[in-house]
Amino acid sequence: MNLWRKPLDLQDIKVARGEIHIIKDLCKGCGFCVEYCPKDVLEISEEFNTKGYHPPYIKNPDECVECHLCEMLCPEFAIYVTLKEDNNVVKSASEEGGQ
């Protein structure tokens, strides 16, 4: 069932793309960012940081839409997101959605 109408200006909508920065040595491996990322960008890695925890790594870097939820939900101030300015990487919404 198609619940959403297709916007008329679909070609012009640009989805923002973000770049995630992880300060690995501050991470304590609580897993909040991995669990609550709406696009499943992050995953817990196998590597250890200096304190012996497993910090997350960026699994799908192109999926990030700069919602800043991982930044807000990090209790250790160890992750932050910046807007990716590179226009070549920005996919238009028609390419992305549609289904």
Partner 1 sequence: METLKTKKMKEVHPMEDVLRMNRIPHIWCPGCGIGLAVTAFAAALEKAKIDLNKVAIVSGIGCTGRVAGYIKLDSFHTTHGRAIAFATGIKVANPDLKVVVFSGDGDLISIGGNHFIHAARRNIDMLVVCVNNFIYAMTGGQVAPTTPLAAYATTCPFGSVEPPINIPYLADSSGAVYVARWTTLHIRRLTNSFIEALDKKGFSVVEVISPCPQYYSRINRLGDGLDMMKFYHDNTEIRHGEDTKNLDIGFQGKIIMGKFIDRERPSYTERFD
Site residues (CB under 8 A) for partner 1? Answer: 21, 23, 25-26, 28-32, 35-36, 51, 53, 71-78, 80
Least distance CB 52 / partner 1 (angstroms): 11
Rounded Cα distance, 35 and 24, in Å: 17
Least distance CB 50 / partner 1 (angstroms): 10
3-state helix, strand, coil in the chain (%, to 5): 20, 20, 65
Nearer to partner 1, 28 or 59 (CB): 28
Three-class SS state of 84: coil
